[in-house]
């Protein structure tokens, strides 16, 4: 019972003291969700996308 409490306390402290790092990660994830061209190119390949647009 004490282990989950310690774990959640450590996670809370990490979020509190490492907020800048978490903000950078969330900003990067949000920008990749908005502009998903890089993901599409990595899955389909650049040739597939160029061939599909023509």
Residue 11's alpha-carbon distances to 24, 41, 50, in angstroms, are 17, 35, 45
Is the Cβ–Cβ distance between 41 and 49 less than 8 Å? yes
DSSP labels, 1-54:
-HHHHHHHHHHHHHHHHTHHHHHHHHHHHHHHHH--HHHHHHHH-HHHHHHHH-
Taking the chain (54 residues) in runs of 10, the rounded mean pLDDT of each run is 95 89 91 86 74 52
Give pLDDT, residue 54: 46
Q: Which residues are CB-contacts of 32 (< 8 A; sequence separation ≥ 6)?
A: 38, 39
Give pLDDT, residue 41: 84
């Amino acid at each position: 019972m004490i282990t989950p409490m310690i774990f959640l306390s450590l996670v809370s402290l990490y979020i509190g003291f490492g907020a800048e790092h978490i903000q950078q990660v969330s900003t990067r994830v949000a920008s990749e969700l908005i502009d998903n061209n890089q993901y599409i190119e990595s899955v389909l390949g650049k040739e597939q996308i160029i061939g599909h647009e023509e």
